[in-house]
């Protein structure tokens, strides 16, 4: 089971801050971040890659799911 961060409805930088907290508590399990704006997707992708993680993005009905793993 993955760690899920639901940042839908939040304005930047809050989704990035929530993702940062999840990464700080990284336990080896994939992290899934849910957002609803492309701005949040781009900001989180940039942050995650700078932290040495890999990220994949899925879009579903104008919502985005970012799958983060080491």
Token look-up 């990284």 returns: 26
Name the active-site residue from 8, 10, 12, 13.
12
Active site residue 12: yes
Residues recognised as catalytic: 12
């Amino acid at each position: 089971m993955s760690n899920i961060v639901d940042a839908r409805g939040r304005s930047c930088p809050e989704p990035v801050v929530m993702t940062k907290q999840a990464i700080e508590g990284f336990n080896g399990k994939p992290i899934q971040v849910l957002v609803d704006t492309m701005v949040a997707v781009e900001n989180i992708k940039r942050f995650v890659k700078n932290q040495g993680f890999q990220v994949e993005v899925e879009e579903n009905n104008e919502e985005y799911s970012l799958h983060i793993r080491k």
